[in-house]
Each structure stands twice: as C-alpha cells, then as structure tokens.
Structure 1
C-alpha cells in the first residue's frame, strides 16, 4: 500500500513538472482542460516507458538490444545513429593549418586558416558547439523525438551555442570533461548526460531544442516539451543517469563523436605552440 502511494505521488510530481514546463514553453497560450489532459497522458506514458527501460537496463546489463526490446525497430535504429554526425564534420590539416567544416560531404562553413589565436578559437568554438548540440540530440533521440535533417536549423542552433560559450564556463567545463573521458566510454556517456542536465537547468537546453524543432506546430511542441520534462525529471529523480549511460555505451555508435573530441585536443595543442 505504501509503495503504491509513493508511486502515485512520484508520478504526480513528474506530471506537474511536465505541465509547468509546457506552460513555460508556450507562455502566450492558454492550456484548456483537453490540452492539460494530453500533457498528463504524454508525461505518464513517458515516465512508464523510461521506468521500463531503466528496469531492463539493470536486468540485462550490457545487452543493449534487450534493454530496448520494448521499443519499435525504427526507434532503436535512430538511437543507434544518434551520434552519427548530426551537425557537421571538421577536418583538420595540421601541416597546412586549415580546418574544413563539411556536412554530408559539402562545405557548410568557409575553410578556417588556423594561423592565429582568433581563428583557432573560432574553429574550436564550432567544434565545441557541435558537441553540445549532438549531446542534446542524443537525449532527444533516446526520448523518441526525431530531429529533422535541416542545415539551416543546425546553423541557427550552433550560433545560439557559440554565443553562450562566451558566457557559460560550466558548458566549457562539461565539454572538457567529456573530452578527458573519451577513452572511458561509460564515463563519457555519463558526462554527456551531465552536460544535458546542466543545459536543462540554465535554459540553454530549451533554446537549442526550440531552434531544432522550430517548424513544429505549437500544440505538438507543448506535448513534446512535456515529454522531455517528464523524461529528464524522472531520470534525475531516480538516479538513472548511470543506467542510461550504460545503454548509450552498449547501443550507440560514437565514432564521429569521438573524432570531434579528438579535434578539440588538436586545437588545444595548436594553441599552445
């Protein structure tokens, strides 16, 4: 009886957090009873799904496929590719001191000549911003929110993050911790989620997600924001960060993400020369 009461109170807490978040994300909209009920249902289904996922992770351990076997094949496929170069790739030529920024094989930003500290910072900021954005995309894909493949939206969100880099030391520290742990994938995966939680707390998270989903109708956005809030609130409240990190370690291909972290090390080395 006590356990059921605790579960009920906990889910009520999750739902209230989701409703409050939805109101914050659409301050100019009045949420009628039908909309609030839709938010309630979305938060509840998200919490139940995450609870099931965490239980299966703890039971199956390193078998990532079994841990998400209750999800659709399409969803699992997207999760596996969540870090598969979602923003752009930076190719560094140390001998010629140049950095090319490409997306899908085509130039996305002009080549940067790395002969000055200012240009090195510009290239490093672009790489750091891509890491932040891709960390958030990873979490969205795990939640079940598909991100459109839109270059212009990516450029907008990268601009938002670069502007934030000049004001937020925590963001830079989080990315640096991810880079330091790149040889320890479970630790790195947990670092990624800590970065996302920090972004969630200071509001940057919502700026990024709004930019990525800017074409989404307002009603869908309300339900999506509620789903995100329910997931992150429950993940933090249940101490599930380490468990989700295990899932990422076993399921997600991080090849391109690791290249980005390696690039940060290269930029750091070039700055010190």
Structure 2
C-alpha cells in the first residue's frame, strides 16, 4: 500500500513537472486539453521507460545491453554513439604551440596560436564548450531524443556556451570535475549528469537544446520538453544518477570524449607555464 502511494505521488510529481515545463517552453501558446493529455502520455511513457531501465540496471548490473533491451535497436545504437565526435576535435601541437579545430576532417574554426595566455584560454573555452554540448547531447540521446548532426547548429550552441563561460563559474567547475574523474568512468559519467542538471537549473540547458533542435515545430518541442522534464524529475526523485551513470559506463563509447578531457589538461598546463 505504501509503495502504491509513493508510486502515485511520483507519477503526479513527474506529470506536473512535464506540464509546467511545456508551458514554460512555449509561453505564447495555449495548451488545450488534447495537448495536455498528450503531454501526460509522453511523460508516462518516458517515466515507464526510465523506471524499467533503472530496474534493469540494478538487476543486471554490468550488462549494459540487457539494461536497455526494452528499447529499440536504433535508439540503443544512438546511445552508444552519443559521444562520437558530435562537435569537433582539437588537435594540440605543444611543440609548435598550435591548436587545429576540425570536424569531419575539415577546419571548423581557424587554427589558434597558443603563444599567449589569451589564446590558450580561447582554445580551452572552445574545448570546454564542446564537452558541455556533448554532455547534453548524450543525455538527450539517452532520453530518446535524436539530435541532428548539423554543423550550423553546433556552431550556434558553441557560441551560446562560450558566451556563458564568461559569466558562469559553475560550468567550469563541473567540466573540471569531469576531467579529474576521467580515469574513473562511473564517476565521470555521474559528473556529466550533474553538469546537465546544473545547466537545467540556470536555463542554459534549454538554450542549448532549443538551438540543437531549432528546426523542430513548436508542438513537437512542447512534447520533447515534457519528455526531458519527466526524465530528469524521475531520475532525481528516485536517486537514479549513479545507476544511469553505470549504464553510460557500460554502453557508451567515450574514446573521443576522453581525448577532449586530455586536451583540457594539456591546455591547463600550458596556462600555468605562462
């Protein structure tokens, strides 16, 4: 009986969070009864999927594939590849003091001469921004939201984050914690979710997500925002951060992401030597 009561309270909490978020994300739109009902359904589906995933993680433990066996193969594949170079790579040549910023073998931003502390900071901010954006993409893919691979949108969100880095210390601290935990994958994965939740708290998450999904019609955006809110609300309410971090550890290929963290360490060392 107590368990049923808790489940009902959780369900109510998650649904209300989803509806409230949908209203906040489209304040100029009136949500009719049909829309609200569809939001409820999206929140329900998202919550049920996450509950199943968390249950299976706790049951299956180390078997990432089994933990997501209730999801479609396409979705699982996207989750696995969520950290596969979604923004760009920065190649640092310490000897020549240069940083090349490429995407798919093509120059994305002009090369940076690392001969001054200002330029090193510029390269560091670009690397930090890519880590923040890819962390958010990872969480979106885990929720089941497909993010288009579009260079124009990537540049847009990188600008949003680099601008924010001038005003916000929490982002830098969160990314630095991810970097420090790069040799402890479960801790690093949990740090990624902490970063995303912090971004939700200050509104940066929604700015980035809206930019990444800028071609999405407003009605789809309402439902998408509801799914995101339901997922995060349930994850936090059930203490599922550590569990979902295990899933990331067992399922997601993080090789490229780890290279970015190594780069940050290199740039930090270069800053200290100036």
Q: TM-score, normalised by structure 1?
A: 0.99
Q: Which residue of 1 aligns with 2:19?
A: 19
1:256 maps to what in 2? Answer: 256
Deviation per CA, 1:182-220, whole angstroms, max 9, x where unpaired?
A: 011011001001001100111110000000001100000
TM-fit CA distance, 1:10: 1.2
- Match of 1:6, SS state, is helix
Map 1:81-120; keep pairs closer than 5 Å.
Answer: 81-120=81-120
Unaligned runs of 5+ in 2: none
Q: CA shift at 1:166, angstroms?
A: 1.0
Taking the aligned partners of 1:126 and 1:134, their CA distance within structure 2 comes to: 12
* Counterpart-to-counterpart distance in 1, 2:219 and 2:265: 43
Matches of 1:231 and 1:87, distance apart in 2: 24
Partner of residue 223, structure 1: 223
Report the secondary structure of 1:69's partner residue.
coil
State the shift of 1:5 in Å: 2.5
TM-score by length of 2: 0.99
CA RMSD of aligned residues (A): 0.6
Distance in 1, Cα, partners of 2:189 & 2:66: 19
Deviation per CA, 1:77-111, whole angstroms, max 9, x where unpaired?
10000100100000001111110000111000001
Partners of 2:260 and 2:112 lie apart in 1 by 16
Counterpart position of 2:126: 126
Spell out structure 1 runs of 4+ moving beyond 3 A: none
2:83 aligns to what SS in structure 1?
coil
Unmatched segments (≥5 aa) in structure 1: none
Alpha-carbon deviations, 1:34-77, whole Å to 9, x = none? 10001000001100110000000000001000000111111111
**Number of residues paired by the alignment?**
273
1:77 match: 77
| Separation (CA, whole Å) in 1 of partners of 2:94 and 2:191 | 28
Partner of 1:33: 33
1:272 Cα shift?
Answer: 1.5
